[in-house]
A and B are shown apart, each in its own frame.
Chain A
Amino acid sequence: MAQTLFDKIWDAHLVARRADGRDLVYIDRHVLHELHAPHAFEQLDKQQRPVRRPDLTFSMQDHTVATRPGRDDTTNPSGAAFLKAMREGSRRNGIRLFDIDDPEQGISHVVAPELGMVLPGATHAVPDSHASTVGGLGALAFGCGTSELAHILATQVMALWRPKRMRIRLGGRLGPHVTAKDVALRLIGDLGVAGARGYAVEYAGAAVRAMAIESRMTLCNLNIEMGGRSGFVAPDESTFSWIAGRPYAPQGAMWDAALAHWRTLASEGDAPFDRDHDLDCSGLEPQITWGTDPSQVLGISGRIPDPSAAEPGRRATIESALAYMGLAPGMTLAGLKVDRVFIGSCTNSRLPDLAAAAEVVRGRRVADGVVALVVPGSTTVKREAEAAGLDRVFRDAGFFWGESGCSMCAGGNGDRGEPGERCVSTTNRNFEHRQGPKVRTHLVSPATAAATAVMGRIADVRRLIAGQV
């Protein structure tokens, strides 16, 4: 029978069926971070179990690291214990650690691809729900908890139920300043926060093929926000050339053999999917969330829904979101004053994200009264951005230019907004209190965030660039 790409990767990694019926799926690359790995190291120590493949495992310091220039362990006092435990656990177990001062430190989902650790057709696991970011390269990635993390360390496999297969076909062409972030937010709006639960999602179609690799990663990053188990894009020639020459990627004859295999990694024409969903991306506007979960989203010219017009079961949810966000039905978001703008996170902190934001910011200034921050996704991204002069663009405009890490996405490093602030953010979750107690978060693309920072109000980046505001 014709196979989907998901089936090809799963079957190639199927080691055995366990007595309880779960599939043991081999994990080719396992990337850890300091918020969760220390507990797993401790568990394995107690059980006197060794790490099976430290050579396929990598440790990152990202969630709790401070972003202030000149940072060290003590800059964020509540992170110190995590950083230290990560350092000791990694050393004890022979795992390569990208420490806080490593020239290649950064967010796990950014660093692993940029160093060439992530390969098409490979499986990948991170104890973090945004693991499937790296699906943008055609890898099958799974997020997991701490117990599963320990399980992978000890066995190099995950014990999984086989998910169902969904294909999301993105047709048409994105307009200027409309990005993968806007597409992903629209999909979450259409399918809901649990719309992909139980599915591995393959993103396909002309609009995906036209996307840069970094954009495909943004798309796959947000897959979990509709509950998807994994999300990926079949690799193509642009994937292969993106990977070629990266430090951990195969070289020489091994590269040639890998490339020949990777070129077979596509869903066959009549392969069966359990579910299909289509979105025509032509005419899509920049998107922005208005509520307290990522499915509460609208186009930049759209109006906030009226709870009294919603189905009875959803009314209370909308009302409570509007109350938290300080918004009223029928309003447009464009023009609303903001206090803070954050550009960063595993969703939108790669070089093209920063370049898109800098293009908007160049020659402009952050509006008075707005705190604006850029936190590159990795120290490599930071270095490359500085080489391209992007840091000057941001700094000259009045942005804070930080050291790499997860930063304000979840505030695990102490970076957060003040109570009541309205924050426009390129991150992935607008949950209540996530970016600080009572902070009101609106999720957007880097271009929209940049336009908003210079206007001091939620802005349609297309109108700003066209000189219409």
Chain B
Amino acid sequence: MQPFTAHTGIAVPLLKDDINTDQIAPVQSVRNLKPDYKALLFMRARRRDDGSEDPHFVLNRPQFRQPGILVTGHNFGAGSSREAAVWGMLANDIRVIVARSFADIYRENCLQNGLLPIALATPDAEAFEQRVVAANGSAPFKVDLRTQRISGPGGGDIAFELPPADRMRLLEGLDDIGLTLKHADEIARWERQMAAAQPWLQTACDRRG
């Protein structure tokens, strides 16, 4: 996984709650095994009925064409577990999402892909959102995971929290499977114990013969 240390980019305000993965990456857009992840991000909101670009959608506005940070509301990423909803962000160079809160599976999918999910509480969230709206894409914000600070136009640094373990995994770009495989012996021991104690859990065969 690509390590995350710091990211500087244009912050895009998409200030709504409960944005779901059907909006972020519609399932109908995943028509083959290697879809255009860049194009599928917010595909429906980006286009009008006749297929042309909707100039009003925030990511279509000239100042937000090269986004780096997405700023949004509560419960971002609700719905399906499809990881395309994270891959679409990365394909558009969005490596940070600052939300009021995240849906659980979406947040995990972010961590798995080196995308930094920052949950800001009020009043910091309100202040940051106002600054992002005021900046209107004229100057970038910088998110530094080493110092856990957001800096940029319109005010002083804003501190953010992330569980130390998640922070370390992102900073070092740790291989999640590799981390777990350090415990391979314990996994094998658990399996042996369970095969004796609850053997029905360790066998899953069709008993019709």
Q: Which residues from chain B contact A350 at a C-beta distance below 8 Å? A: none
Closest chain B residue, CB of each to CB of A194? B75
Docked complex Cα distance between A41 and B105 (Å): 20
Contact of A412 among B27, B75, B112, B190 (CB under 8 A): B27
For residue B81, CB closer than 8 A to chain A, the reply is yes
A contacts, CB < 8 Å to B: 15-16, 18-22, 24, 26, 28-29, 35-36, 38-39, 47, 49, 52, 55-56, 58, 78, 81-82, 85, 115, 117, 119, 121-122, 127-129, 143-148, 150-151, 154-157, 159, 161, 193-194, 197-198, 227, 229, 247-251, 254-255, 257-258, 261, 293, 317, 410-412, 416, 429, 431-434, 437
Query: What CA separation (Å) do A248 and B207 show in the bound complex?
Result: 6
Q: A410-B27, A429-B79 are in contact. Are A147 and B200 (CB under 8 A)?
A: no
Q: Is B183 an interface residue (CB 8 A)?
A: yes
B50 sits at the interface (CB 8 A) = no
With A15-B187, A431-B23 as given contacts, are A21 and B201 in contact (CB-CB < 8 Å)? no
Taking a contact as CB atoms under 8 Å apart, the answer to whether B169 and A20 are in contact is yes
CA distance A81 to B35 in the complex (A): 12
Q: Smallest Cβ distance from A47 to chain B, in angstroms?
A: 7
Contact of A254 among B113, B181, B199 (CB under 8 A): B199
Q: Among B63-71, B136-144, B172-180, which stretch is in contact with chain A?
A: B172-180
15 interchain pairs (CB within 8 A)?
A20-B166, A28-B201, A28-B202, A39-B33, A39-B83, A55-B205, A129-B81, A145-B105, A147-B113, A249-B200, A257-B200, A258-B200, A261-B198, A412-B30, A433-B26
- Give me the 3 closest cross-chain CB pairs, A-B, nearest first: A20-B165, A147-B112, A250-B200
Given A155-B187, A159-B176, A247-B206, A411–B28 Cβ distance below 8 Å?
yes
A411-B168 in contact (CB<8A): no
The answer to whether B180 and A119 have CB atoms under 8 Å apart is no
Asked if B187 and A145 sit within 8 Å, CB to CB, the answer is no
A82 touches B180 (CB 8 A): no
Q: Cβ of A251: which chain B residues have Cβ within 8 Å of it? A: 207
B159 in contact (CB, < 8 A) = no
Say whether B78 faces chain A, with CB atoms less than 8 Å apart. Answer: yes
Across the interface, do A293 and B20 meet the contact criterion of CB distance under 8 Å?
A: yes
A18 touches B27 (CB 8 A): no
* CB-CB under 8 A for A18 and B183, given A38-B33, A128-B81, A429-B79: yes
Q: Is the contact region of chain A dominated by helix, strand, or loop, or is it mixed?
A: loop
What is the CB-to-nearest-CB distance from B112 to chain A, in angstroms, rounded to a whole number?
Answer: 4
Q: Shortest Cβ distance from B79 into chain A, in angstroms?
A: 6
How far does the alpha carbon of A122 sit from the alpha carbon of B202 in the complex, in Å?
Answer: 10
Distance A229 CA – B107 CA, assembled complex (angstroms) = 12
Q: Is the CB of A193 within 8 A of B78?
A: yes
User: Which of B33, B81, B182, B190 has a CB less than 8 Å from the CB of A19?
Assistant: B182
Query: Is the CB–CB distance between A247 and B208 below 8 Å?
Result: yes
Least CB distance, A425 to chain B, in whole angstroms: 14
Query: Could you tell me if A147 and B109 are in contact, using CB atoms closer than 8 angstroms?
Result: yes
- Contact with A15, one of B105, B113, B181, B183 (Cβ below 8 angstroms): B183
In the complex, A416→B27 CA distance in Å?
12
Encoded as 1 (CB less than 8 Å from any A CB) or 0, chain B from 72 to 106 comes to 00110011111100100000000000000101110
B18 in the interface (beta carbon within 8 A): yes
Closest to A122 in B: B201
B84 to chain A, nearest CB (A): 9
Interface residues on B, range: 35 or more
**Given known A145-B108, A148-B108, A434-B22, contact A78–B32 (CB-CB < 8 A):** yes
> Is there an interface contact between B22 and A429, defined as CB atoms closer than 8 Å?
yes
What residues on B are CB-neighbors of A249 within 8 Å? Answer: 200, 207
Taken together as a complex, chains A and B put the C-alpha atoms of A48 and B102 apart, in Å, by 33
The answer for the CA separation of A431 and B19 in the assembled complex, in Å, is: 10
- Asked whether A411 and B82 contact (CB < 8 A) given A78-B32, A258-B200, A293-B18, the answer is no
Q: Which residues of A contact B177 (CB under 8 A)?
A: 47, 49, 150-151, 154-155
Chain B residue with the shortest CB-CB distance to A258: B200
Q: A15-B187, A85-B33, A194-B101 are in contact. Are A24 and B180 (CB under 8 A)?
A: yes
A35 touches B165 (CB 8 A): no
B31 touches A78 (CB 8 A): yes
| Interface contacts beyond A19-B179, A36-B81: sample of 15 additional A-B pairs, CB < 8 Å, sorted by A | A18-B182, A20-B179, A21-B165, A35-B30, A47-B177, A56-B204, A121-B198, A145-B82, A145-B109, A147-B113, A156-B187, A156-B191, A157-B183, A159-B179, A194-B75
Contacts of B187 in A (CB 8 A): 15-16, 24, 26, 52, 155-157
Contact code string B11-54 (vs A, CB < 8 Å = 1, else 0) = 00000111010110011101111000000000010000000000
- Closest approach, in angstroms, between the C-beta of A308 and any C-beta of chain B? 19
B16, B26, B33, B205: which contacts A248 (Cβ < 8 A)?
Answer: B205
B104 CB, nearest partner CB in chain A, Å: 6
Q: Does chain A have a CB within 8 A of B62? A: no
Q: Is the CB of B44 within 8 A of A437?
A: yes
B194 close to A (CB within 8 Å):
yes
Q: Looking across the interface, which residue of chain B has its beta carbon closest to that of A246? A: B207
Q: Chain B contacts of A24 at CB under 8 A?
A: 180, 183, 186-187
Chain A residues near B20 (CB-CB < 8 A):
293, 429, 431
Asked if A147 meets B176 with Cβ closer than 8 Å, knowing A81-B32, A227-B103, the reply is yes
B163, CB-defined interface residue at 8 Å: yes
- Among residues of B, the one whose C-beta sits closest to the C-beta of A199 is B104
Q: Which residue of A lies closest to B163 (CB)?
A: A21
Verify B179–A18 contact, CB threshold 8 A.
Answer: yes
